[in-house]
Chain A
Amino acid sequence: MALTALCKRTDSATVHHGYMRYDANSALAVEATGLIKQFGKTKALDGVDLAVPPGRVLGLLGPNGAGKTTAVRILATLLRPDAGQARVCGYDVLRDAHQVRQLVGLTGQYASVDEGLSGTNNLVMIGRLLGIPRTQAKVRAAELLERFDLTDAAGRPAKTYSGGMRRRLDLAASLVGRPRVLYLDEPTTGLDPRSRTDVWLMVRELVTDGVTVLLTTQYLEEADQLANDIVVIDHGKVIATGTPDELKAKTGGQVLEVAPADPARMPDVAAALAELTRAAPSVSEHGDRLTVQVADATLLPGIVRELDSRGIELAEFALRKASLDEVFFTLTGTRNQP
C-alpha cells in the first residue's frame, strides 16, 4: 500500500541526521480536499484543497482571519472539519487521528510550551509523553536545547525566556518525536528580524533533514524565503497556487519603477505611464516614485522616448520582478499588513 512506502523510515538517515527521510515516492505527505469549516456564521474554510509532497515546504499565505490556522488545526487533528477530507502520510485525520499524531509536530500561535516549567523539563515531559524512557528523554532534550542555542537557559522556567527563545523552545518541543511532517503556524509573528532569521535557518535545516513542512504566514517575505510552493487563501478560499516565481509571473509579471528628477513632475509621469502601459500606476510610500505593472518589456524604449520628449528628466528607471507583496495585493485587493 502506498502509505507504508510513503511513511517508510530509513534508520540509516536517522543515524546520520537525527531525522527520518522520506522514501522517494511521489505520494503526498499532506493532502486535503474540499475542507469546509464554519464557526457560527463565518465560513473559516470554504472548500480548501492542499497538497504537500514529501520533503517540501508549502507556504500557506493569507491575511489575518483568512483561515490559515483553522486549516492547520484540522490537519493536526485538533479540529474536525464540517466537510472534506485530509490525510497525512495516507492516514485520515479523523479516522486515524492517533496515527497522524505520531507523524506530525505542531508549533505555533496556539500550541505552546508550559511557562511554569524549565526548558529541559518541557522537552523531557514531551519525550516521556511520547514513550521515550527517562534517560533517553533527557539526552534528547539536551540535544535539542543545544541545537536551538538554549543550553544556557535550559534550567530556567520558560516564562523568563524572551520571545525568540520561547519560539525556539516551541520549535524544539515539536521536534522531540522526530515528526515527519511539521506544521509551523506563523512561526515568526512578533519576532524581531534577528530571531526571525534564526527561525528561518532552523526550518531550512529541518527541510534538509527531510522533514515536510507546512508553514502559515502573513509575511510574504517568509513564504518567499522558505516555501517551495505557495497557496494563497483569503476568506477561506484558495485564490492562487504556485511557486513563488510562478505567482510573481502570474500577476503582472514585472514592475517598472520610475522616479522623476523633479518631484513636481510626478503627475506628468503618472499620466504618461498610464497612457503607454494601459495600467494604473501607484505612488510609492515616500511619494517620490511611481510603480506600474508591465506585461510586455518591449514597451520600455517607447516609454523612455515619450518621457524624454515631454521634457521629464529621470532620476531612476528600473524594471524588476513583482514582489510577493504586489502579488498579494493584486490577488486579495488588500494591502498585507502584518
Chain B
Amino acid sequence: MTAIATVQTPAKRLSLLTGLSNTFTLTWRSVLKIRTNSEDLLGLSLQPIMFLVLFTYIFGGAIAGSTHKYLQSALPGILVMTVIFGTLGTGLMLNNDISTGVFDRFRSLPIARWAPLAGAVLGDMVRYVIMVGVTLGFGMILGFRIENNPLAAAAGCLLVLAFALAMCWVSALLGMVIKTAQGVQTFSFLAYFPLVFGSNILSPTQTMPGWLQAFVKVNPMTSLTDASRALLIGGPVASSAWKALAWGAGIAIVFAPLAVRAYRRKT
C-alpha cells in the first residue's frame, strides 16, 4: 500500500444534509430498540387492546345502548387516546438517554445538535404506526367497521399521526426539564389526563357541566377526535380537521423550539 501523507483539517460546519443523515441514523437506533426489546413491543400492542376492551365493554352499554354502536364512535377516539398517551414515551426515553449519559456521547460527537431530538421523535413515529395498526386491527376483530372510503380512513390515521408528531415535542420538553424518569411520568400524566379525558373521546358532551363543555370545546383532542371520526365513519370533516391541524402546527411551533432550547441548555 502506498502511503500518502495528507493534512486533514476538521470541517468547519455541518451541512443540513449531514444533519438529516444523523437524524436517520438515530431513527434507525430507535427502531432497532423497539425491535430488540420484546417487552416494549408487547406493551405497545397491549395498550390499545386494553383500552378497546375496557372502554367498549364498560361504557358501551351505558352510553350508547350497545357495545357495537359504542365501538363505532369510540374507536376513532381511542385511536387518538392511544397515540397521545404513546407520546409520553418520547419524554421518558429522552430522560433516560440523558441520565444514562447516552446523550452526552451524542453531544460530544460532531453531529447536528438537533439530530438526537429529531431522531428520537421520528423513531417514535414508528411506535405510533404500530399502535394505530393494532387499534384498527383489534377493533375490527371486535366488530368495528370503517364506513368511509379507504383513502379517507388512511387520511384519518395520518392526521392522528401528524398530531402525535406535534405532541412529541411537549413530551420531549417535559423529559428534559424534569430531572427523574419518575417525575416525567407523574407530571406527564397530570398534563395528559385532563387533555385526553376532558374531551368527547369517551362520551357525548351534552350532560357535562357548562365549564367542562367549554373546556371540551376548545380542547384540541375534541377537534382531532371529530376529524378522526368523520374520516373513519363518515360525517363533516373540514372544520374539525383544519382545527386539529392548526392546533398541531401551533403546538409544534411553540414546543419544538422550546424542547430544542432545553436540550441545548442541558449540561
Contact = CB atoms under 8 A, between A and B. Distances in A.
> A and B, one complex?
yes
B14 A125 contact: no
B154 interface: no
A98 interface: yes
Chain A: number of interface residues, binned into ranges: 35 or more
Chain B: number of interface residues, binned into ranges: 35 or more
Interface in B23-40: 25-26, 28-29, 32-33, 36-37
Contacts, number: 107
A114 B37 CA distance: 13
Nearest to A131: B18
Contacts of B14: 98
A247 interface: no
A109 interface: yes
Contacts of A8: 7
B108 A111 contact: yes
Interface string B1-17: 10111111111111000
B101 interface: yes
Given A4-B9, A98-B12, A15 B3 contact: yes
A102 interface: yes
A115 B100 contact: yes
- Chief secondary structure at chain A's binding surface: mixed
Contact of B104 (A9, A110, A116, A128): A110
Contacts of B6: 9-11
Contact of A7 (B10, B25, B110, B267): B10
Contacts of A102: 10-11, 110
Contacts of B107: 77-78
Contacts of B101: 109-112
A37 to B, nearest CB: 10
B109 A76 contact: no
Nearest to A8: B7
B185 interface: no
Interface string B82-123: 000000000000000100111011111111000100000000
Contacts of B223: none
B109 A116 contact: no
B219 interface: no
Contacts of A78: 104, 107-108, 267
Contacts of A129: 22, 25-26, 106, 109, 111, 115
Contact of A76 (B10, B18, B108): B108
A101 interface: yes
A173 interface: yes
A292 interface: no
A36 to B, nearest CB: 15
A231 interface: no
A277 B75 CA distance: 88
Interface centre among A77, A98, A102, A105 (most CB of B within 10 A): A98
B21 A131 contact: yes
Interface centre among A4, A8, A112, A116 (most CB of B within 10 A): A116
Given A78-B267, A99-B11, A101-B110, A173 B3 contact: no
A126 interface: yes
Nearest to A10: B5
A160 to B, nearest CB: 12
A112 B105 contact: yes
A283 to B, nearest CB: 42
A79 B104 CA distance: 10
Interface string A1-19: 0001001111110010000
A142 interface: no
Contact of B3 (A12, A109, A131): A12
A104 interface: yes
B112 to A, nearest CB: 10
A129 B108 CA distance: 11
Contacts of B109: 101, 126, 129-130, 177
A113 B32 contact: no
Interface of B: 1, 3-14, 18, 21-22, 25-26, 28-29, 32-33, 36-37, 97, 100-102, 104-111, 115, 267
10 contacts: A8-B7, A77-B108, A104-B108, A109-B101, A112-B101, A117-B32, A121-B32, A125-B25, A125-B29, A129-B106
Given A77-B108, A157-B36, 20 more contacts: A10-B6, A12-B3, A78-B107, A78-B108, A98-B110, A101-B110, A103-B10, A105-B108, A112-B105, A114-B29, A116-B36, A116-B37, A117-B36, A121-B29, A125-B28, A129-B22, A129-B25, A129-B109, A129-B111, A173-B105
